[in-house]
Amino acid sequence: MADVTGKTVREGVVLALLSLPVRRIRALRGTSGVGSGLQRAQSFMVVATLLYRASHLTVGALAVAQRRSELPLQYAGFAVALGLSALTYGTALRRGWFDRRHIWADALVIGCVLPLALCAWGGVREPPAIAWAMLLGGSASAVAAISLERLHALTVIALLLVTHFIGYQAVGASPAVILGHLNSIVSSAVMTWLFRWYLLRQGRLLDEANARAVAAEAHKARYAERLEHHRALHDTVLATLTTLASGAVDANAPEVRRRCAREAAYLRRLIQQTAAEVHHREIGAALEDAVGSVESLQLRVTAQYHDLPQVPPEVAAALGDAVREALNNVRRHAGTGHAYLTATRDPDARGGALVTVVDRGPGFDPERCVPGLGLRGSVHGRMAEVGGRATVDTAPGEGVRVELRWPG
Q: By CB under 8 A, name the binding residues for another protein.
A: 2-3, 261, 264-265, 268, 271-272, 275, 302, 304, 306-307, 339-342, 344, 356, 358-360, 393, 395, 398-399, 401
Q: Which is nearer to another protein, 47 or 251 (CB)?
A: 251
Q: Which is nearer to another protein, 170 or 271 (CB)?
A: 271
The residue among 200, 217, 201 whose CA lies nearest residue 21 is: 217
**In 10 A of CB 52, how many CB atoms?**
17
Q: Which is nearer to another protein, 269 or 380 (CB)?
A: 269
**Least spacing, CB of residue 381 vs another protein, in Å:** 23
**285, 316 in Cβ contact below 8 A?**
yes
Q: Regarding beta strands 353-359 and 389-394, do their DSSP bridges make them parallel or antiparallel, or are they unpaired?
A: unpaired
Q: Which is nearer to another protein, 39 or 342 (CB)?
A: 342
**Least spacing, CB of residue 141 vs another protein, in Å:** 50
Q: Which is nearer to another protein, 115 or 399 (CB)?
A: 399
**Least spacing, CB of residue 275 vs another protein, in Å:** 7
Q: Which is nearer to another protein, 251 or 373 (CB)?
A: 251
**Least spacing, CB of residue 339 vs another protein, in Å:** 8
**Least spacing, CB of residue 343 vs another protein, in Å:** 10
- Give CA separation, 195 vs 90, 138, 203, 209, 313, in Å: 21, 16, 12, 21, 46
**Least spacing, CB of residue 11 vs another protein, in Å:** 16
Q: Which is nearer to another protein, 9 or 176 (CB)?
A: 9
Q: Which is nearer to another protein, 33 or 363 (CB)?
A: 363
**Least spacing, CB of residue 21 vs another protein, in Å:** 23
SS (H, E, C) the chain: CHHHHHHHHHHHHHHHHHCHHHHHHHHCCCCCCCCHHHHHHHHHHHHHHHHHHHHHHHHHHHHHHHCCCCCHHHHHHHHHHHHHHHHHHHHHHHHCCCCHHHHHHHHHHHHHHHHHHHHHHCCCCCHHHHHHHHHHHHHHHHHHHHHCCHHHHHHHHHHHHHHHHHHHHHCCCCHHHHHHHHHHHHHHHHHHHHHHHHHHHHHHHHHHHHHHHHHHHHHHHHHHHHHHHHHHHHHHHHHHHHHHHHCCCCCCCHHHHHHHHHHHHHHHHHHHHHHCCCCCHHHHHHHHHHHHHHHCCCCEEEEEEECCCCCCHHHHHHHHHHHHHHHHHHHHHHCCCEEEEEEEECCCCCCCEEEEEEECCCCCCCCCCCCCHHHHHHHHHHHHHCCCEEEEEECCCCCEEEEEEECC
**Least spacing, CB of residue 340 vs another protein, in Å:** 2
Q: Which is nearer to another protein, 25 or 323 (CB)?
A: 323
Q: Which is nearer to another protein, 272 or 293 (CB)?
A: 272
**Least spacing, CB of residue 366 vs another protein, in Å:** 13
**Least spacing, CB of residue 237 vs another protein, in Å:** 13
